Structure 1
């Protein structure tokens, strides 16, 4: 899959224009997705020096993106007569999505098992239903 990944608030805590602390397991999960042969695109509002810093921050942690703020590495407005700022990605990982950002373990599971958010919610509900409900203690033998 082609997966677009935001930087601020998704890979690192939101401290823009500074680079915040890494969100737990973000770069580890991104490396796993790359090893699973997914193409990752860094999709960020950052530009220029701020973007270069974010790319280098990821590179230092072993995350090399397929492309940065474009559909493929060599894409330009001149060589793509269908150029659009809207990426052609299969999946977007962004802290601003509806429902917020799941933890990176859940994100990896969703990608690996091709699960939707609804699939995860159904799975969680069925797991709760299958467990025995806590039993109330009898109080004074009345119940």
Structure 2
């Protein structure tokens, strides 16, 4: 069985506007971007630190259910929501990182172009 290539996307400030501890509105273009990535065959993993041990007792509500509800309500496609602790920092450095700046169209084009280069 061929596994889909995973794309990991942060929740707060990327999928939705940053209103932490509340959940903001979907960012402009996110629905179209997720639909494009899903249609292209990617496995979409939403990553968040909302369930991190350091937030216990600070963030109200069942965060996994709230995020699932948000994704379903806004009809945003995804495969998995990943919620183990994510360290809080001022920056995340990664050799596979893509800078998000409300540029969903550019991001999806870059991912598809990168995949074409590495598939052959």
Q: Are 2:12 and 1:23 aligned?
A: no
What TM-score, normalized by structure 1, do the two folds share? 0.55
Shift in Å, 1:65: 2.2
Shift in Å, 1:113: 0.9
Q: Which position in structure 2 is the counterpart of 1:9?
A: 13
Structure 2 gap segments, 5+ residues each:
52-60, 116-120
Shift in Å, 1:51: 2.8
For residues 78-133 of structure 1, what are the alpha-carbon distances to aligned partners after superposition, in whole Å with 9 as ceiling and x for unaligned? xxxxxx978xxxxxxxxx55684141011111111118xxxxxxxxxxxxxxxxxx
Q: 1:97 to 1:106 in 2, by over 3 A?
A: farther
**Mean alpha-carbon deviation: is it higher for 45-54 or for 96-105?**
96-105
CA distance in 2, matches of 1:106, 1:97: 20
CA distance in 2, matches of 1:50, 1:11: 15
1:29–1:105 Cα contact (<8 Å) kept = yes
Shift in Å, 1:52: 1.7
**Max Rg structure:** 1
What TM-score, normalized by structure 2, do the two folds share? 0.65
Structure 1 gap segments, 5+ residues each:
71-83, 87-95, 116-143
Shift in Å, 1:31: 1.4
Matched residue SS, 1:114: helix
Q: Which position in structure 2 is the counterpart of 1:32?
A: 36
Q: How many residues align?
A: 93
CA distance in 1, matches of 2:10, 2:17: 11
Q: CA-atom RMSD, angstroms?
A: 2.6
